């Protein structure tokens, strides 16, 4: 099996396998990004994807409003991914709020290389996207698969971000098996029905929803379990199914007393169909299922928050956008006289939606103090992370911001 050497290669391969259209954002059309050279190789080799036999690659300059190119194929019901640097995110805010309601995946390499500014991520944290963070080469590949599967199952946009320079020294990894990627993606759950939009900037009310089909108790008080499927439109037409069920009933059925006398127990229940907006609990459910499948097949385990350190630690450091391995080495070196002797380390894989309850489940019950460490251009933005943690239902007695 071929080896993967860089985060750009790992992400580009998964995006190619899992998309109908890939929008490749580049410095110029003549200059490759860390992703685009691999798309060229795949096309030259006539490699096939899992979603499309020949994915379309759309190269776009970084300063040419690149996310605009994602709307048309998304409205046509296609699965779209975008590979880009973080430099386009803030100026693309007008598009992000609308794209968040489509199953689009943005793979984002943070800039500037080597010293990335994570404020590009925190500045758009309320755009409605789900955010996944990778910190190693293996994670970049696994969470790229997670991002595409999550977009398909939730119908919402996902931003997968990582620091390529920090990952550059990782050992090569094997390519993810195509059949495993196919199994996790569950492409059959994606609706190919296009949407009708009134205009690019008009809010037509489209929002990612989940359609719930089940039964309510009838005269005998019985009910059948609820069934859920992913949906993309805000409204669900019940009238269509009503017409189909009416046309499926023949006059013979109405007149035949023998057939009328045989009635299923479900006839005493009333079928109900409703839709609701995708919630953070849904995202948690989807990611848990995806990571469970990944663990069963590979043995690699992922959670929304990761904790490493003593089970009886009283102090911990929450790292966001930092080299976790480097911090772990330094924490291991401290002596009993140091303030953070025996401290734990906490990192986020799922940055948004913020699942405060999951964070508390991850932390040791003995924890009393937690410090925050983030890579931001402005110190003020540390408050973004600390506010998220402190807003969680908390039993922590003290927080410190270095």
Q: CATH number for the domain including 89?
A: 3.40.50.970
Let me know whether 291 and 273 are in one domain: no
From residue 237, alpha-carbon distances to 155, 190, 206, 231, 241 in Å are 18, 18, 14, 12, 8
Chain center to CA of 45: 29
The reply to whether 204 falls in a domain is no
Let me know whether 250 and 293 are in one domain: no
Let me know whether 286 and 147 are in one domain: yes
The reply to whether 203 falls in a domain is no
The reply to whether 395 falls in a domain is yes
* 386: Cα within 13 Å, side-chain hemisphere: 18
Of 268, 298, 328, which residue sits at a domain end?
A: 298
**Domain count of the chain?**
3
- Ordered mean pLDDT values, 10 residues apiece, the chain (402 residues): 91 98 96 96 95 96 95 95 96 94 96 84 93 95 98 96 90 95 92 58 62 51 46 43 44 45 45 74 96 97 91 86 71 74 88 90 88 61 53 48 40
The reply to whether 51 falls in a domain is yes
Let me know whether 222 and 244 are in one domain: yes
Chain center to CA of 255: 53
CA distance 165 to 209: 37
363 contacts 394 by C-beta, under 8 angstroms: no
The reply to whether 394 falls in a domain is yes
For 279, the token pair is: 């919630």
Of 298, 328, 351, which residue sits at a domain end?
A: 298
Let me know whether 268 and 157 are in one domain: no
Let me know whether 110 and 172 are in one domain: yes
Let me know whether 168 and 131 are in one domain: yes
The reply to whether 385 falls in a domain is yes
CA distance 160 to 148: 9
**What pLDDT, on the 0 to 100 scale, is given for residue 309?**
85
**What pLDDT, on the 0 to 100 scale, is given for residue 390?**
56
Let me know whether 94 and 148 are in one domain: yes
Q: Which helix (H) or strand (E) holds 153?
A: helix 137-154
Sequence length of the chain is: 402
Of 298, 327, 357, which residue sits at a domain end?
A: 298
Let me know whether 237 and 105 are in one domain: no
Ramachandran region of residue 342, left (φ > 0), alpha (ψ -120 to 50) or beta?
Answer: left
The reply to whether 234 falls in a domain is yes
pTM, to two decimals:
0.78
Question: What are residue 22's DSSP bridge partners?
Answer: 57, 81
Let me know whether 158 and 30 are in one domain: yes
Q: CATH number for the domain including 339?
A: 3.40.50.920
The reply to whether 229 falls in a domain is yes
Let me know whether 37 and 117 are in one domain: yes
Q: Where are the alpha helices (DSSP H) in 100-227?
A: 119-122, 137-154, 164-167, 178-185
Nearest to 109 by CA among 73, 62, 156: 62
Say if residue 353 is preceded by a cis peptide, omega within 30 of 0: yes
* Domain ranges, residue 27: 3-197+281-298
132 contacts 107 by C-beta, under 8 angstroms: no
* 71: Cα within 13 Å, side-chain hemisphere: 16
Say if residue 19 is preceded by a cis peptide, omega within 30 of 0: no
Burial of 122 (0-12, 13-18, 19+ CB in 10 A): buried
CA distance 69 to 71: 6
Fill in the DSSP letter of residue 6. S
Let me know whether 130 and 244 are in one domain: no
3-state secondary structure of 206: coil
197 contacts 74 by C-beta, under 8 angstroms: no
């Amino acid at each position: 099996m071929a080896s993967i050497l860089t985060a750009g290669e790992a992400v580009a391969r998964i995006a190619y396998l899992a998309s109908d259209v890939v929008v490749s954002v580049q410095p110029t059309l003549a200059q490759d990004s860390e992703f685009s050279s691999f798309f060229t190789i795949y096309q030259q080799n006539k490699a096939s994807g899992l979603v499309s036999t020949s994915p379309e690659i759309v190269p776009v300059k970084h300063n040419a409003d690149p996310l605009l190119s994602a709307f048309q194929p998304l409205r046509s019901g296609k699965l779209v991914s975008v590979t880009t640097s973080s430099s386009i995110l803030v100026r693309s805010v007008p598009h992000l709020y609308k794209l968040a309601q489509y199953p689009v995946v943005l793979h984002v390499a943070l800039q500037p290389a080597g010293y990335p500014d994570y404020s590009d991520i925190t500045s758009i944290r309320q755009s409605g996207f789900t955010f996944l963070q990778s910190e190693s080469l293996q994670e970049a590949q696994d969470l790229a698969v997670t991002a595409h599967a999550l977009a398909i199952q939730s119908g919402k946009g996902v931003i997968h971000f990582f620091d390529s320079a920090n990952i550059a020294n990782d050992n090569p990894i094997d390519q993810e098996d195509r059949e495993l990627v196919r199994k996790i993606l569950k492409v059959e759950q994606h609706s190919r029905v296009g949407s009708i939009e009134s205009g690019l900037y008009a809010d037509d009310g489209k929002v990612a929803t989940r359609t719930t089909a089940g039964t309510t108790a009838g005269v005998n008080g019985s009910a059948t379990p609820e069934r859920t499927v992913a949906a993309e439109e805000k409204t669900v037409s019940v009238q269509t199914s009503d017409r189909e069920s009416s046309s499926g009933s023949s006059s013979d059925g109405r007149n035949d007393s023998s057939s009328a006398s045989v009635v299923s127990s479900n006839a005493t229940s009333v079928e109900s169909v409703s839709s609701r907006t995708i919630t953070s609990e849904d995202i948690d459910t989807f990611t848990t299922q995806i990571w469970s499948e990944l663990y069963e097949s590979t043995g690699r385990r992922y959670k929304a928050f990761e904790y490493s350190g003593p089970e009886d630690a009283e102090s911990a450091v929450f790292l966001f956008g930092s080299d976790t391995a480097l911090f772990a080495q330094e924490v291991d070196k401290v002596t009993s006289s140091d303030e953070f002797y025996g401290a734990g380390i906490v990192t986020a894989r799922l940055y948004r939606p913020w699942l405060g309850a999951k964070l508390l489940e991850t932390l040791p019950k003995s924890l009393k103090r937690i410090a925050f460490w983030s890579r931001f251009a402005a110190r003020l933005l540390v408050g973004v992370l600390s506010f998220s943690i402190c807003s969680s239902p908390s039993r922590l007695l003290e927080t410190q911001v270095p």
